[in-house]
Amino acid sequence: MSLGSIINGIAKVASAIAPGLMAINQTRSITTQAKSVELAQQRDHANFELGIKRMEFDAKMELARQAVRARERQEDKEFSLQLKQIEAETLIQQEKMRQVFNALEAQKQREFTESIEQFKAELQIALQADSIAFQRWKTETDRQFSLEITLLNAQINRQRDKQNRDDQRRDRNNPVFSVADDILKTVENRSEIPLTVFFSPPVLRYDPLPNATAQSQFPMMEATLSGALRELFEQYTQKQRPIKFMAGEWVTKNRRAESAVNDIFRELNSIPVLVLETEVEESFFNINIGFWNNDFDDARFKTVVRKFRWQDTISEISQNLLKKWQLEGRQIQTDYDRAEFSRRSRETFTHYMELLHCIHVGMVTDEYFLIYAPNRQLPLLPSLLSDLFDEANLPDEERLNLTKAVIDYSNQLFDALEQIEPAIMIDLRLQWANILQNIPSRYTFEEQVEKIMQTWLKQRK
């Protein structure tokens, strides 16, 4: 067989197979296109179902958020209702206690009246039964009474002479100008005895005796500090917290500390008194407070500011003022500029000292009217802090620190009062929480609300 015939045979076979191969390729192409269309349809269907599920999930989440908000609103309403219920129950309890007290008082009055009538009847029977014996007893009693009166008069005279001698010695060393009897007359004649406040300033303008304070070069600010305290106490008096401020009464800075406070306490221990004493010792500045109520056995004396470096404070104020002037483009070149700079520094320091005095005396004043005064009053100083801070131009951080110190002191007073009179604490703490709610930082407001609930639950057991 020749090569040509072989090639022709192969060509014939190829021509016979070619149509079959082309048909197979076309079939495969159609199958591939069909699968591609099917896969695209499945993918579109999956995306559609995913979109439906996402919409269902978003709808469920929105329903859940609405349910949470509705539950929070319901809880707020329930808490408000609980507070109102507490207030109502407190008023009911107070009314019941008042009724019980009135009933007991009426019963005691009846028993007292019956006792008096029984005594009169028994005395009348004794007189009628033995008139002669009664006359003999009366004569002997009159003689004995006359003798006792004579001895008592002699004793009173000796005591009066001794008191006069003691008063003469005491007057020469009394830390204040006023006579105790004169102060007592002006105070005890009032319908409500006020809190009497004495003030010993850092430096006395007219001090008859030489002392270390006069040599300390501390700025003279007696009148300015007295004015700031007077304005503070006027606000207390206007809010039904009567105060009698005895500015200008201190005699000399040589009378100080416990010695001076004890001298005043000895003569004025029958009325509530607060003594605000400030002292300067070289570079240190201290604030002391003496205090007592009319039922104290002894005066309370405490140092509330100790070793305050007043010269460093003036330097810091001057540096801050200098930076402020430099930012404003001002320079200290002339004598007028130096005088103005010095005046502004002194004024800022004086405002800061006013703030220190008002805060510390205000905290003890709030203690008196909350704990000891016949007509109990809530702390007033926290509501006055904002105006005091503005006058002193304090930075925000220092405002917050002083606010926390004042409120913490007041909270300690409430905790101490709860140990003595727990029955009244729900109402007092509710009023105190309302005050804290209006303080800019609302410091310890939530804590007071929690204590209200704890006290209420404790009293319900």
Specify the pLDDT at position 238. 92
d(CA 360, CA 379): 13
What would the two tokens of residue 279 be?
Answer: 């002292």
Specify the pLDDT at position 165. 44
Specify the pLDDT at position 368. 93
Across the 461 residues of the chain, what is the mean pLDDT of every consecutive 10-residue run?
Answer: 68 68 74 81 84 86 87 85 85 86 81 73 64 63 67 60 50 56 72 85 66 63 87 92 82 70 81 88 86 87 85 83 83 83 85 90 92 88 86 79 88 86 81 82 74 73 63
pTM as predicted = 0.59
SS (H, E, C) the chain: CCHHHHHHHHHHHHHHHHHHHHHHHHHHHHHHHHHHHHHHHHHHHHHHHHHHHHHHHHHHHHHHHHHHHHHHHHHHHHHHHHHHHHHHHHHHHHHHHHHHHHHHHHHHHHHHHHHHHHHHHHHHHHHHHCHHHHHHHHHHHHHHHHHHHHHHHHHHHHHHHHHHHHHHHHHHHCCECCCHHHHHHHHHCCCCCCEEEEEECCCCCCCCCCCCHHHCCCCCCHHHHHHHHHHHHHHHHHCCCCEEEECCCECCCCCCHHHHHHHHHHHHCCCCEEEEEEEEECCEEEEEEEEECCCCCCCEEEEEEEEEEHHHHHHHHHHHHHHHHHHCCCCCCCHHHHHHHHHHHHHHHHHHHHHHHHHHHHHHHHHHHHHHCCCCCCCCHHHHHHHHHHHHCCCHHHHHHHHHHHHHHHHHHHHHHHHHCHHHHHHHHHHHHHHHHCCCCCCCHHHHHHHHHHHHHHHHC
Specify the pLDDT at position 31. 79
Over the stretch 236-286, which tens digit does the pLDDT of each residue have? 999 989 998 887 777 666 666 777 788 788 878 888 899 998 888 878 888
Over the stretch 443-452, which tens digit does the pLDDT of each residue have? 777 777 777 7
Specify the pLDDT at position 231. 92
